């Protein structure tokens, strides 16, 4: 089955800890995206990547980092600098940056 | 800067009744428009999209939306809803020149009651 997988489904972070959220796609899409979802605020773009080894900041990149070493993988690290990390994180991909985006099932991050 | 406003945060409706979820956007250039649906604790699924051509677009499960350029709106409608339509619905816009960057509305929670 082709699609986007995100793991884990739930993730717990301790104070001062960095955590990494996984996003993998087997759709052969060039572009990948990370969004944060908070209740009543819709989705906000954190980072996106148009091609391997390239990525750009979105609207709320502070406290986050990404890498794009392989076409199928776009992991997101939530660093200790992100003071309010509790949210639902969604990964998406598209054939190209002007094409329709398809979403993974999401990871819910909670702070202990 | 472009923005998207979904005018209703919650829409309760009885089964088999019609429903309209409203979406307005602001942009000075041509846009692509999308509606996504999200079921509890799941990712977003594309419901329908407007890229060009006919201003009325339809989904396979009975939803439709009409692009109205003069009113900068892209309202979502269904003539008869089912319990299974209960979900959160997001309107999104992408400026065709920028490509890739989706701006989302705040979401509308549709609750269908028996």
- How many Å lie between the alpha carbon of A55 and the closest alpha carbon of chain B? 13
Q: Could you say which of B34, B44, B100 has the minimum Cβ distance to residue A98?
A: B100
Judging contacts by C-beta atoms under 8 Å, the chain A residues touching residue B34 are 100
What pLDDT is attached to residue B99?
54
Place of tokens 């019609």: B18
pLDDT in tens, B26-50: 977 778 899 999 998 888 999 999 9
CB contact under 8 Å between B100 and A31, yes or no, is yes
Peptide bond into A8 cis (omega under 30): yes
Local confidence band at A47 (pLDDT 50, 70, 90 cut-offs): very high
B99 touches chain A (CB under 8 A): yes
Beta strands in chain B (DSSP E): 3-6, 10-14, 19-21, 23-26, 31-38, 44-50, 56-58, 64-68, 73-78, 87-95, 103-104, 108-113
Q: How many residues does chain A have?
A: 112
Average pLDDT over residues B92-114: 84
Say yes or no to pLDDT of B97 above 70: no
Which residues have CB under 8 Å from B56's CB, separation 6+?
A: B64, B65, B66, B67
End-to-end Cα, chain A, rounded Å: 35
B6 vs B61: which has the higher pLDDT: B6
What pLDDT is attached to residue A89?
96
Q: Two tokens at B30? A: 């041509």
What pLDDT is attached to residue A83?
87
Judging contacts by C-beta atoms under 8 Å, the chain B residues touching residue A31 are 100
B53 touches chain A (CB under 8 A): no
Lowest-pLDDT range, A58-72, B3-17, B55-69? Answer: B55-69
């Amino acid at each position: 089955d082709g699609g986007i997988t995100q793991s884990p489904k739930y993730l717990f972070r301790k104070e001062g800890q960095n955590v990494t959220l996984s996003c993998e796609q087997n759709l052969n899409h060039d572009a990948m995206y990370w969004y944060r979802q908070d209740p009543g605020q819709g989705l906000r773009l954190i980072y996106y990547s148009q091609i391997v080894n390239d990525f750009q900041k979105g609207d709320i990149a502070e406290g986050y980092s990404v890498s794009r070493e392989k076409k199928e993988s776009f992991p997101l690290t939530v660093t200790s600098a992100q003071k309010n990390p509790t949210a639902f994180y969604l990964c998406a991909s598209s054939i190209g940056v002007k094409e329709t985006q398809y979403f993974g099932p999401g990871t819910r991050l909670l702070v202990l | 800067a472009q923005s998207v406003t979904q005018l209703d945060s919650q829409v309760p409706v009885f089964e088999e009744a019609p429903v309209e979820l409203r979406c307005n956007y602001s942009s000075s250039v041509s846009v692509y428009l999308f509606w996504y649906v999200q079921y509890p604790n799941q990712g977003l699924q594309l419901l329908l999209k407007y890229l060009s051509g006919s201003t009325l677009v339809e989904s396979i499960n009975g939803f439709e939306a009409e692009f109205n350029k003069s009113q900068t709106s892209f309202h979502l409608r269904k003539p008869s809803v089912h319990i299974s339509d209960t979900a959160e619905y997001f309107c999104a816009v992408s400026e065709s020149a920028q490509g890739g960057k989706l701006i989302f509305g705040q979401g509308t929670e549709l609750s269908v009651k028996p």
